[in-house]
Every structure is written in C-alpha cells, then in structure tokens.
Amino acid sequence: MNESKTYNDCEICSTLKDVEEHNKLWSKEIDLLPPTAGKLQNILYYQGAYLQKCPLCGTYYKDISWNELFSDGWTEFVKLERISITMTVYYLIQGNLFAELKNLALSKKENAKVILTEIMKIYKDSWINKDLITKNGEELNELKNFCNEILSS
C-alpha cells in the first residue's frame, strides 16, 4: 500500500483553502485563484464541474465556474473545493473512470472500503442506477472484486 502524504504536506494543496471562491468583472484582468491551482490536472468534466487532481499528493477538487450579467457587466464566479473521498468516488464512477478508481483503491485500504460502499449503494438503488448498472455492470463487479481482494490482504 502506498500511504501517500496528506494535502497539508503538499506544496500545491497546502496553498489552497478547502474552498476557494472568487469573482471578477470581465473588464478587470486578475487571476481568480492562487497560481498553484493551475497545477491541478483535469480528470473529468461532469454536470458542469471539473474533477481535478493534484499531481503530487492525489487530492481531488471540484472546480465550477459560471458567468452572470449584472448592470455593470459580466461577472465570472469561480469555486474550487477540496472534496471528500466519497464524492470523488461518486464522480469517478459516474465518469466510468475505473482505472482511476483502482489506483485510488490501491493508494489506501480506507479508499477501497469507500469504493466498495459506493458500489453497494449503486446496487441497492438499482432502480435509480439502472442505466449505470446496465452500461457498466461488468466493470463495477470487477472493481468490487478488486476492492475485496485489497481489503482481505
């Protein structure tokens, strides 16, 4: 097991708050987020948000941006949020990123438990997740077995 360092020890993530929220008028050229946020890697775009990952410590973030028109012009809003492992697993399953999920399971046994729990929730609510199960049932079962092997070792 590769028990990696925490985001508090990471040269990228330690400079980011749990939630970074910024906005600006389009007419003003300023960076909305700390420069280190630009080092995060986009993993997935899902439901209007980017799932991003720190290349150094593996911490995941949800990045949302949107624009609104006010009387003084367009304003851009940006929200970068460090997300829980449970939310990360949800996004990765919805995005069919099973290789990423296996790597996550290998990084910590606790992650394998979370992944297994989320898979069980999918099957428990099979009437809601029918399309996901139909499309990815084989991968979900393979991932479930993979996580069970990690937990039994």
What mean pLDDT do residues 44-68 have? 90
Q: Over the chain, what is the mean pLDDT?
A: 87
Helix (H) or strand (E) holding 52: strand 49-53
Is it the case that residue 2 has pLDDT exceeding 50? no
* H, E, C per residue of 57-126: CCCEEEEEEEEEEECCEEEEEEEEEECCHHHHHHHHHHCCCHHHHHHHHHHCHHHHHHHHHHHHHHHHCC
Q: Decide if pLDDT at 136 tops 80.
A: yes
Report the SS3 class of residue 81. strand
Residue 24: what pLDDT?
Answer: 67
Which residue shows structure tokens 């990045």? Answer: 63
In this predicted structure, the answer to whether residue 148 has a pLDDT above a threshold of 60 is: yes
- The tens digit of pLDDT for each residue in 3-35 reads 456 788 899 999 999 998 776 655 555 556 788
CA angle 125, 127, 128 (to 5 degrees): 70
How confident is the model at residue 48, as a pLDDT? 86
H or E element in which residue 85 lies: helix 85-94
Q: Angle CA(63)–CA(66)–CA(72) in degrees, nearest 5?
A: 140
pLDDT in tens, 85-126: 999 999 999 999 999 999 999 998 999 999 999 999 999 988
